[in-house]
Every structure is written in C-alpha cells, then in structure tokens.
Structure 1
Amino acid sequence: MEYGWERTFPFLKIDNNIIGELLEGILENDYITNVIPINEGCRTTNYIVDTNIPEKKYILKIFFSKEQNYKKEIKLLAKLKEDKLVNVATIYKVGNNEIIQNREYAIYEYMQGKTIGKAISEGYSIENNFIKDVAQFLAQIHSYKFEKAGFLDENLKVVNELPPLILWYEKFMGSKAKERLGKDLVHKILYIVNKNGHILNKLDNDIRLVHGDFQGTNILIKDNKLGGVIDWEFAMAGHPLADIGQFFRYEEYFSKDMIKVFEEEYNKISSYKLTNDWYEISKLRDLANLIQLINGEGNMPNKYSNIKDILINNITLLSS
C-alpha cells in the first residue's frame, strides 16, 4: 500500500518541551511520559503523545501548508461526532505558535490501532469482519448529499464547483504524468476514459460526502475491526466510488469473496446503491486520482513507480 511513499513535506522535529507547550490547557492531572514521531503520512508532521494515564493519549498534528484545509477537517469531524458516527477523532485544540515556525497545529484524540498499510507490511491479512466495518463506515459518510461536486469551505459548503468528471483525466494529465507514463500508456488511459464517458457522466448525477484519501495510511485497524479513519484534509463533495476505488486500489490484498462481502454490507445501509459493475467503475474513477498523483513534483521514485504499476493494472482490467 502507500506505506513507504516519500514525503511531500519534510518532518518537523521538535522536543518534548515544545510539545508540552502546545498541549497547554489540555493536560490536567496528567503529564507527558513519552513522545513518539509517526513516520507514516506524507504531508503533516504527527506525534503520539503518551501520558501517565494509560487511556489518555493524544495526536499532535502540525500542518505545513495553509492550503491543508484543517478548519474544514475540524468542522467536519465535529459534525460527524454530533451525528454519532464512530471511528472519527475528537479534536481538543487548534492554534498556531511561533515555536513551530508559526505553523498551524491541532491536538486530536488518539485512536487505537495500526494503519492498514503498516499492519499489512507486518504480515496481517485482511478478513471479512474488517471489510464489513469499512463498508458500514463508508455507507454512513456517503449518506450526506450535495447538489454539485466541489471543494468544501470551513462551513462545509461547496465553494469551488468542479467541472464534469470526464474532463478531469485530461486536465490532470500534465507533462510530468506524460513523461512518467509514456505515450502508449497515456493513449490507452484516455481511450478508456472516452469510451466510458457515459458512465462517468452518470457519476456526476449523485454527489455525496467523500473522505477523499481513503487508503492504507488513513485507515486504522484494531483487533481485526475498523479502529478509526484519520486525515480528512481532502474531504469534499464528490463521487462515492472514489473512496471505494482508493480502498480497493491494491487488488492483491482482497479476494473476490471480500469484494462481494463489501457490496452486500454497503448496499444494506447506503442510499447510494452499488450496481453490478461497481468494482470496475471504481477502478475507472480511481484513474483520475492516480493520474493526479503521478503528475506531482519532486523526485519520488517509490511513489511514482507504485502508482504506474496500479495504473497499468487498472487499464488491463478495464480493457478486458
């Protein structure tokens, strides 16, 4: 999975005294006993903060860009908590501080578990109970409807309406993507997209809340159950099959039975019903995300090689 990708922003190293100052007002009868940097993730600096009270742990997240939409994430998590959606974190504090170069930060509830990416790297095999939990969770967040696709502001309103989905693929296919993919693969991708234009147009007719980055480093597992879903920075009004395509991006970890279990569990709960060809359409939808990722800046050979392999696999599936 995405475990092992190169970072987009550098990791900010800070000491326990700085972390203690950032947690001022949060700590009561507890005090910091240990601080553990989290190396997963590519865009934020994250630390686990242990205290002398076992059930009291925190996540410190430091943002590197003012475009990281943390205010939207905070508002959304509060809304999901209010609506009794489990598996999302409480946020205790938000601010900025000159001791971390005036960067913005937030203190989150620590959610127990390992990321799926890390668990799989340590030998874990996904099981049906976990698949059911994920299906139920996605069905719940996909129940929030929007009139149009676009990015959300800090009040969870669509502020930047997006063009029709079919136009995204060529828009994202910039010079970096073309260089990394090669002329032949670019041609195949755009051919598949245009051939399935009528399917993509249908996806634009039913817009829902989506996580936007529903992949291995943002999904926690604990005792073979869904422990939590983190990093809602890319949440938007979009296509439910985008989240589903990201979840099933690495086919080697999912059996046909698991895919069927997901479909049945999701359709039990969701008002957004999966059709018979939902799995293939999710791969088609995920092409847009993958093209955007491989068009990124910087020298990240692990990341771009991994993405190219997935793109080739998706095109092979969609061409059969």
Structure 2
Amino acid sequence: MKDSARLFDFQAVNEDMVRRLFSAFDPKASITQVSPLTKGMSTSNYALRTDSGSRYVLRIYPANNDHSGIEAAAYQYAKTKIRTPEIFFFDDSKQIISFSYLIMVFIEGSTLGDFIAENEGCPDHVVHRIGSSLALLHQTKYSHMALLDEHLQIAGQLESFASQYYTLLNGLAGTHIQPSTKEKCMQFLADHAELVERIADKHVFSHGDFIFSNIMVTPSLEPCFIDYEYCFAAPVFYDIGKFFRTRTQVERYIGADTIAAFEEGYNRNAREPLPGEWYALSKLADISTMLHLINKSQIPDGWGSAINGEIEKNLKLLAGEAEPLLDK
C-alpha cells in the first residue's frame, strides 16, 4: 500500500497569511521562503525559512478533524522519552485563521520510506533504534482501548479490539473487499479467537499512525517520530502492525534481519518483552486497522483492492503460523 492518499484536502494559504501566522510566534522574523509539504493525509504543512536561516514547519489542522490539542500534548509527552521535534508555538484560538495551527522545528533528513528507497535498504542499527524508541512511547499503560483528551487521559472508551473485526466486516468496510476475503477473515477469527484476545491483552500510549512517512531519518541516521495527531490508547501491536505493513516501493528491502533488529531494539526498552509470535500478532492486528480506513461509503480509488490484497497476504501468513502460535 501507499501512504500518500489524503483524507482531507490540502489547505492552501497565501504567503501573506503565512507571515501573519508566523508573526504571532516571532514578530521580528522575516520569512524568506515558503514551500508547501504536500505529503500527508490530514494536516496541511509548509516548510518555512527565515532571514536568519532558521527553518520551521507550519502545521494547519483540518476544521472538521482538529486533533491539534491532543497532538501538542503528545509531542510534549514524547519529548520526555525520545528524540522529538520541538514545538515552538500553538494556537487554537482561530482568531487569525479559521484553523488551529502550530509551528515546530524543521527536521532535516528523509522519511524512512524515502531513505530506504534511496539507499536500497536500512541499516539494522537504525531499525533497532526505531524499535527501542517505540517501546519507550509504549511505556504508558491504559486500562482499555480509548480515545485520549488533551491531557492524554482517557476521554472515551472504544469498542473492544476483539469485536471490532466483526463490526467492520459486517459494516461498510466489508463492502469494499472481496466476499471471499471477508469469508476467510470471518472463518479465521472464529477458529482463532484466542489470538485476538492476546492482541488486546494490554493497552498503551499508541502513536496511532506509525507509518514510514511519519518517521524521519536525520543525516546522522537518528530516527525521529512525527505526526502524533491520531494517538490513542491501543494494544502494542497496533503501531507495530502499521510499521510492518507492505510498502510497494521498499518491501524487497524488509527482510528477516530488519524484523530481528526491530524486535531486539523494542525489547531493550520495553516494560515487557514482545512474545515470540509478535510479528504474526501484529499482522492480525493490522487487518482491523486497515478495515477502519475503508469503513465509509466512499473511499479513495484503489484503496479497496490494495487493502483486500494486504489482508489476503496477512491471512496467508497467519494460516502458516496460527497453530504453532496457539501452542506457545
């Protein structure tokens, strides 16, 4: 699958408005360059350069999907645990513009996906660091799957992970995949309910959108996680499943060594080590995650077929590992 399709339109603002927004943070600075960063699914981002040479990112939130307060809190939380971009200014008053926005430091480097494609692979120590950093984020526990408020406290309980599969498959998401794929999912879930229960055994602070385009690799090969707007309380396998979802352009570079490096890094900082069958459990968790993406009447072109194919791949992997998993 590709991470590039947008869920919300890119919000175009002219340079005069950009300068007004920035002046609320630093009225003395002069903006010399404004460059739209069109990648992303929800927010509208601009790279800014000032006359001093400093670089920033202006991040504007969609009006009907404003997670700005939660994301600002999540960045502060992450800053206490891992390398995190600094947030300089946050404004949700909507007095200058009818959207919430923040200003943060610009991270030099490439997204993980671009880095892997350009270098035809990723050093194990970088993957190890990604795993260890994710484990640090996951150290905060919650009692159940839930939305979070602007203090990162539980704001509203979500449907249990175990029942989500059936709700999604019997809802709009199920109409966008092949009937045969839906039937296979239903049968697997019926035959292996224990696996689903194991996924939902523990809940932690989840990044919520832990995909390659939300992981920056700096010139010094340090990973840096960005875009926390969808953070919530979820099983650890939610983020891991998203991380190991197929990326067409780089999949050939993700092998057993990559998986092993991630596991070793994660377990180094984890409150509890991953179980031996963690990779397969994350693939099962990601089926629910992908179904959520298409649980609506209208979806972007190609999403249904791409997710159908990914679900089929996950089911094949699980069919080969399900019995041994149950024995462990």
The two structures have a TM-score, normalised by structure 2, of 0.89
Q: What is the CA–CA distance in structure 1 between the aligned matches of 2:315 and 2:252, rounded to whole Å?
A: 16
Cα separation, 2, equivalents of 1:173 and 1:65: 30
- Matched residue, 2:90: 93
> Which of 123, 132, 138 pairs up with 2:134?
138
Shift of 1:306: 2.6
Q: For residue 32 of structure 2, what is the aligned residue in structure 1?
A: 33
Q: How does 1:5-84 map to 2 (within 5 A)?
A: 5=5, 7-27=6-26, 30-54=29-53, 56-81=54-79, 83-84=80-81
Shift of 1:120: 4.2
Please say if 1:246 is aligned against 2:242.
yes
Deviation of 1:276 after TM superposition, in Å, equals 1.0
Q: Which runs of 5+ in 1 are unaligned?
A: none
State which of 163, 174, 179 in structure 2 corresponds to 1:178. Answer: 174
Report the secondary structure of 2:204's partner residue: strand
Whether the 8 Å CA contact 1:11–1:44 is kept in 2: the answer is: yes
Q: 2:210 aligns with which of 199, 209, 214?
A: 214
- The runs of at least 4 aligned residues of structure 1 exceeding 6 Å deviation read none
Number of positions where the alignment pairs a residue of Structure 1 with one of Structure 2:
316
Equivalent residue letter for 2:304: Y
Query: Is contact 2:168-2:174 (8 Å) kept?
Result: no
Partner Cα distance (1:114, 1:22) in 2: 26
150, 153, 161: which is aligned to 2:149? 153
Quickly say closer, same or farther: Cα 1:169–1:96, change in 2 above 3 A. same
Paired with 1:236 and 1:26, the residues of 2 have a C-alpha distance of 29
2:293 paired with 1:293:
yes
Alpha-carbon distance, 1:180 to partner:
2.3
Which has the higher mean CA deviation after the structures are superposed, 292-301 or 13-22?
A: 292-301
The residue number in structure 1 matching 2:308 is 308
Deviation at 1:319, TM superposition (A): 1.4
Q: How far off its partner does 1:47 sit?
A: 0.6
The 3-state SS of whatever aligns with 1:17 is helix
Deviates more, 1:133-142 or 1:302-311: 302-311
Report the Cα offset of residue 98 of structure 1: 5.8
CA distance in 2, matches of 1:80, 1:8: 25
* Separation in 2, partners of 1:224, 1:252: 24
In 2, Cα distance between the equivalents of 1:118 and 1:302? 22
Aligned-partner SS, 1:21:
helix
Give the deviation of 1:90 after TM superposition.
2.2
Q: Say if 1:209 and 1:237, in contact at 8 Å, map to a contact too.
A: yes
Task: Give, in whole Å, the separation in 1 of the partners of 2:199 and 2:174.
Answer: 26
1:37 match: secondary structure: strand
Structure 1 residue 122 displacement after superposition:
4.6
Identity of aligned residues (%): 26
Cα 1:89–1:247 change in 2 (3 A) is: farther
**Could you tell me whether the CA contact under 8 Å between 2:112 and 2:217 is conserved in 1?**
yes
Change (3 A) 1:65 1:117: farther
Tell me the distance in 2 between the aligned counterparts of 1:235 and 1:244.
Answer: 14
1:41 and 1:257 mapped to 2: Cα distance?
Answer: 29
Gaps of 5+ in 2: 321-328
Q: CA 1:133/1:147 → structure 2, altered by over 3 Å: closer, same or farther? A: same
CA deviation map 1:258-311 (0-9, x unaligned): 111111221121113111111000000111101111334435224333322211
> What is the Cα deviation at residue 134 of structure 1?
0.5
Contact 1:87 1:227 in 2 (8 A): no
Q: Deviations over 1:74-113 (max 9, x none)?
A: 11212332x242134424222344664x122221222222
Distance 1:193 1:60 in 2: 44
**Counterpart pick for 1:193 among 189, 197, 206:** 189
Q: CA RMSD in A?
A: 2.1
